Structures are given as C-alpha cells and as structure tokens.
Structure 1
Amino acid sequence: MSFANHLHSGYQSRKYDIDKKKIEDFIDRLFRFIFFLEYQQCSELADIELRLNHFKREFKEILSSVTQENESIKTEKFFESFPEIYHLLENDAKTIVDNDPAAQSMEEVMFSYPGFFAIAVYRFAHELYRSKIPLIPRIWTEFAHNKTGIDINPGAQIGRNFFIDHGTGIVIGETAIIGNNVKIYQGVTLGALYVTKNLQNITRHPTIEDHVVIYANATILGGDTVIGENTVIGGNVWITESVAPNSVVFHKGQVTVKNKFPTDEPIIFSI
C-alpha cells in the first residue's frame, strides 16, 4: 500500500469529521468577545444579542461534527450555563487582582494574564466534559496549554476563586479535585503516582481542599493524597501522602554561600 493510500484509508475511517483549527478559533474568539477584548465594540444591546446568536449557531455546527444526538438541546444547555460560568470567572479575575501585587486592574488580568485565559478555557471545557461531549473539551484545553504552558485536563474539578500566578509548567490531571480559594504557582504538578490504562476509571490525582497555597515546582501525586484546608505547600516539595489541615510543608535544602575571594588567599591580577 502506498503512503497516499494509507492516508486515504485514514481519512475514510476517522471517527470524527472535524476542523481542529475551527474548534480552537471558536473558543479564542468567544473569550475575546465576552471579556471585552475586541477592538470593535458592540455599542448596542441588539449587536451583542446578534453576536451571541452567531456564536450559538457556530457552536451547533461544531457540535454536529462530534455528535449526531440532540445538537440543538446540547447547544442550548451549553449557552444556558454561561451566566454561572461567567460569574465564576469574574470572581477568578477578582481573586487574581486581590492577591497579585503586580495586577493593576480586572482589565489587565483579562487582557494579559495567561493563568486567567487557561482557567476560562478550562471552565467552558469542563461544562462540555460534564455533558460527555467528546473531543472538543480536550482540544480547547490543549489549545490553552499551547498558548500558556498551563495544562488543565477538562475533567478536573476546580472550585471558586482559583488563582494561578505565572503558570508556566502547571499540570492538573483529569481526576484532580481543587477546592475554593486555592492559589497555585508555576511548575506545580497535581499528578498520578503511576500511569497505566487500567486506572482510567478511578481517582488518580490528588484532592486539594479549600484555602491551600501551593508554591512553585511542588509535585503532589496520587488519588489517595489529600491536602487539608489552610495548608501551605512550599516550593520544590514532593508529596505522595495526605497532609493534615493547617500544615506548612517545605523542602529543607542546604545552600552554601562563601566569598569568592577568600581573605587568606592572595589576589593576583595579570595584565
């Protein structure tokens, strides 16, 4: 079989007839529209309603590429969830402003913070994941991953007032559960102890309770691992067991600092 024939066979047998670029472009444009990031403003209420209806029709078309069951009902359900998701995201943005001394305004967060973009895409993708919509949720979160370096599986459960600072290198697995008012810094991994296919339908990733702070490059693994509320996880720690509430966990390394010009050694310059 020639390579062209192999490709032809693949196109003929693929399960979903999708346009990946169109699916990515949809969530990117929707984000920019609902958070007022477009240069062209909608000055009239009728203009906004027209744009929303256009997004709804476009989403229905995208949905029909991955499912042939009740596209209209699922589209309506998705858009009916917008007010609740939007309220969550406004609170996420406010949490970032309230906690990051570098954040000057909600507008700055919405325009420029990669953590907020990743959270927003995740929250929309999670709604589709809950409705058992195939493929689209993962395409959206991987699109955000590619743009921000933040990898949030759409199956993760994340509570209110979520704060990601910097964000690059964060990994949050499918069965992770994150409570309310949690702060996570760059390089954090909420992962599985080990990965095999037969673990697909069980909890593999940790639970993070309310008011937890996890500093840079901490790794927390395992489906039985629970980080209790009001706990602070320091940078660079490796955790595979549960931590009691109100704990402080830190990695105690040894750093040596010495004068690079010891006083008992002569300094000789050659010119």
Structure 2
Amino acid sequence: MNDEFYRQILNKQQLAEAVPSNKEITAWAMQVIRLLFPEQSKKVFISIGQLQDEFAKLEDELLHIMNATKACVDCDNKNRAKGFFEQLPELYRILNTDIQAIFRGDPAARSEFEVIRTYPGFFAISFYRLAHSLWQFDVPLLPRILTEYAHTKTGIDIHPAADIDEYFYIDHGTGIVIGETSRIGKNVKLYQGVTLGALSVEKNMADTKRHPTVEDDVVIYSGATILGGETVIGHNSVIGGNVWLTKSVEPYSTVYHSPLIKVLKNSK
C-alpha cells in the first residue's frame, strides 16, 4: 500500500477528531429534553434563574457543536443557536400535544408521567421534533445524528425533514419508517411497522416530493405500506393492517386488506 492511501485516512481522521462524537451530540439533545420534561430526570431546579442558566449553557454547547462541524463556512451559527432556543416554548407546546394524544389514545396509559418516562413513541417523537427544528435552521449533520440515535433506541425511523403536525401518536412503533418528504397532519395515529416511503429511490429525485401526505385525523394500522409523493390519504380515513397503497384515497375512507383465511376443525 502506498503513502497516499495512508494520507487519505489521516486527513479524514483529522476531520473526524474536530467534530464532537455522536455520543456527545445525543447527550446534548437528551439534556434539552430532560430540562423540558423533568419527569425524565431527578435533577431539581429551585428558581427560574437556575433554569435560564442551564438553557444558556446548552445554547453555548450547541454553538460549539455547530462550529466544530465546520460544515458551513459562512453560516451565522450564533444566531442559529439562539434562534433554536428562542423557539423552544413552541417546541414544548407541540410535544405536550403529542403527550396528550398518546395518553388519551392508549387505554393502557395510566398517566402522562408514564408516557414521558416509558413510551418509545414519545422518545422517538421528542428526538424528531428537536432534529426537525435544527433542520429548519439549516443545521447540517446534527439532525440526522439525532433521529438515527432514536432509530437505534426504538426501531422508529423518522427523517428530520418530514413535516409532522401536532397531536402525533405512535403506538408500539417498532419498524415505523417516515421518509424525508412525508407530510402528516394533526391527530394522526400510526401503529408498528407502518412505512411512508417512496416509489423510487433514484438519486435524481432528491429534490422532489417522494413520500406520501397523510391528512388530519387518520389512523394507519400495523404493517401498512404507503408509497409515493403524489399519494394522499384523505382526512378521517382508516388504513387497515398490511395494506399496500400507491394511490390516493378520499377523505373518510376505510381501506383494508382481505386475505383468505381458513380455519380447520380438528377431528376428535
């Protein structure tokens, strides 16, 4: 092997060393979530001033992380970090609607505290909401690190660019995939194994809408696969389990898969 091979690896190593580890980045996000929802932490704050100081530290840490990535030469990272933290009250409001949707929609949920502390759906939604906000501020790399971390923890894969409205409810969640250009309205409930995907994954489609739109008040049951950027699930529809959809459905539709099932009675 020649020296050029080793030089290429060393150059990449220097770039990697400058960027905080994925563990540091996800730890920062976890601290933000724990400040918003102290149900996830035993840390106690005794004053508004103390909380303000904690958020200020996290803003400084975000600025450091963004500067270290060096993925954007002319970006005003200081204002982007400030903007992210200024919109936290709205992010907090939306996350609380997600908590309410899960608590109201799941008979097994005994309290909102339980939802916050134990539900993988809320964990994944929390990281998605943080990542989506960073995505909207054109922060590179970090949003994908955050949503992929949630993916590894929960099996729920939500692209940070997906547009998801409030009162979002994921039940069970394992195996859910929500693609980059998906749009999801208010009061939508997804069960495990749902895919909102693309009909084609060709690279030249990167800047086109490739994933479905799901309107308000839709329920999609486990294993349903809905594909295509022009596919719209009309509001107040119910999509049954294991359905395969590549065409739009009208509002108030019920779509279901009807397999042929035989039950044989054993002779005595």
What range describes the TM-score normalised by the shorter chain of this pair?
over 0.9
Amino acid at match of 2:64: E
**Where in structure 2 are the equivalents of 1:110-125 lying within 5 Å?**
110-125=116-131
Confirm whether residue 169 of structure 1 aligns to residue 175 of structure 2: yes
Q: CA offsets per residue over residues 160-196 of structure 1, 9 Å max, x none? A: 1000000000000000000111000000000001211
State the alpha-carbon separation in 2 of the partners of residues 122 and 29 from structure 1. Answer: 15
Amino acid aligned to 2:12:
G
Alignment CA distance shift 1:29-1:9 (3 Å): same
Query: CA–CA distance in 2 between the matches of 1:252 and 1:90?
Result: 37
Taking the TM superposition and a 5 Å limit, the aligned residue runs for 1:186-197 are 186-197=192-203
Read off the aligned partner of 2:47 and give its amino acid letter: E
Residue 31 of structure 2 is aligned with which of 12, 29, 32? 29
Change (3 A) 1:153 1:48: same
Map of 1:54-93 to 2, 5 A cutoff?
54-66=57-69, 67-68=72-73, 69-93=75-99
Cα shift at 1:16: 6.9
One of 215, 227, 236 as aligned partner of 1:230: 236
- Which of 53, 62, 65 is equivalent to 1:50? 53
- The residue number in structure 1 matching 2:109 is 103
Instruction: State the 1:12 CA deviation.
Output: 4.2
Query: What is residue 151 of structure 1 aligned with on the other side?
Result: 157
CA distance in structure 2 between the partners assigned to 1:198 and 1:16 by the alignment: 32
- Structure 2 residue aligned with 1:252: 258
Query: What residue number does 1:17 align with?
Result: 19
What is the number of residues matched between the two proteins? 262
Counterpart of 1:129, as a letter, is: W
Aligned twin of 1:132: 138
> 1:42 deviation in Å?
1.2
**Residue 241 of structure 1 aligns to a residue in which SS?**
coil
What displacement does 1:49 show? 1.5
Q: Distance in 2 between matches of 1:225 and 1:53?
A: 43
Deviates more, 1:220-229 or 1:26-35: 26-35
SS of alignment partner, residue 226 of structure 2: strand
State the distance in 2 between where 1:32 and 1:114 align: 15
Percent of residue pairs bearing the same amino acid type: 46
Specify the code of the residue in structure 2 equivalent to 1:211. Answer: D
Rg larger for: 1
Structure 1, 214-223 or 5-14: larger mean CA deviation: 5-14
- The alpha-carbon deviation at position 259 of structure 1 amounts to 2.5
Taking a change above 3 Å as real, the CA distance of residues 259 and 157 of structure 1, as seen in their structure-2 partners, is same
Matched, 1:39 2:42: yes
Consecutive unaligned residues in structure 2, runs of 5 or more? none
| Aligned-partner Cα distance in 2 for 1:28–1:100 | 25
Q: Following the alignment from structure 1 to structure 2, what is the Cα–Cα distance between the partners of residues 50 and 190?
A: 40
Cα drift, residue 14 of structure 1: 6.2
Q: 1:13 to 1:94 in 2, by over 3 A?
A: closer
Query: What residue is the counterpart of 1:268 in the other structure?
Result: none
Moved more, 226-235 or 5-14: 5-14
Deviation of the 1:6 alpha carbon: 4.3
Q: Shift of the alpha carbon at 1:7?
A: 2.2
Q: Distance in 1 between matches of 2:181 and 2:125?
A: 16
